[in-house]
Each structure stands twice: as C-alpha cells, then as structure tokens.
Amino acid sequence: MLSIPKYLNEIIGRSYEEGVGLRTITLRTPSAQFWASLSKEQQDEWKRLIVELGADPEDYLRHMRAMLPEGV
C-alpha cells in the first residue's frame, strides 16, 4: 500500500469505490504556488509517488506551467 505524506493531501485525493472496497487515488495538477512551497526533497518525493502510480510527473508539471499567466 502506498504511503502518502500529509503535505501532499492537497493534490492527491483518496476515495473508495462503493461495495468493492478498492482504493482509488486521484492525482491533481499542483498549483505553481503549492509546488514552489515544497522543498526539493518533497518535490522529489512527489515525483517518485507519481511514478509509483504509473504516471509521468512531467505531464503534471507541464500542465502546471501551462496554467501560469503569460510572462511568469
């Protein structure tokens, strides 16, 4: 079972499917403000967690950058 640090709760939601009891993890794109608030170690931990879940962390980071206002 994955261990998700509390500081990542804002961008990683957890839910359970009714009647089946299966855990579902929903990944959310971090905001630039949230990302900047993380230490380098926390950012690396987030990236490792995303890879463990079978996704590419760069997809989320590209999406985060695309949401920034122009000139930032």
* pLDDT per residue as tens, the chain (72 positions): 567 777 777 666 655 444 555 566 777 888 899 899 999 999 999 898 888 888 899 999 999 999 988 866
Instruction: Quote the pLDDT of residue 24.
Output: 67
Total structural domains within the chain: 1
* Structural domain range at position 59: 6-66
The string of DSSP codes covering 12-71 is EEEEE-TTT--EEEEE-PPPHHHHHHS-HHHHHHHHHHHHHTT--HHHHHHHHHHTSPTT
Instruction: Quote the pLDDT of residue 60.
Output: 92
72 located within any domain: no
Give the CA angle between residues 72, 11, 52 to the nearest 5°: 110
52 located within any domain: yes
Q: Which helix (H) or strand (E) holds 3?
A: none
Instruction: Quote the pLDDT of residue 16.
Output: 46
Instruction: Quote the pLDDT of residue 5.
Output: 78
